[in-house]
Every structure is written in C-alpha cells, then in structure tokens.
Amino acid sequence: MLLAALGAGGCDAPLGAIRRSPPAGIDARVVAARTRAPDFTLAGTSGTFHLVDAVAKDNVLLVFYRGHW
C-alpha cells in the first residue's frame, strides 16, 4: 500500500528505480557511531548554531535528511 501511494505522485522515480540495497563501496564512507563530529557553524532561523556551544550544554544528535528523493 505504501509503495503504491508513493508511486501515485509522492515520488518522481518509477517504482522499479527504488534502490533496495546500499550502493557499492558505501561501507568505506560510513562514519562509525559515537564518532566526534568536527565543529561547525550554521545560520538558522533563530540565530547562529555553533556545534561546540550546543555540546557544552547537552548531548547533540545530528540528523541528515536527503534534500531530494
């Protein structure tokens, strides 16, 4: 049901084009869990975000979303 709903307009790729396994060689690029992220600064809607400042206050979880399906 979910795949049918996605194919009906939720995804611009044909159903046969959906990748069912990770791309070759991805294991060499995966960052291990609990690896320290390099410091960075981002401009946001509520001001500037500095990773070092956020880590000093509490734990931080970084989540990356793909920009395009």
pTM over 0.75: no
Name the H helices within the chain.
2-5, 51-57
pLDDT for 68: 63
pLDDT for 48: 95
pLDDT for 16: 60
pLDDT for 13: 60
pLDDT along the chain (69 residues), means of 10: 44 62 79 86 92 93 74
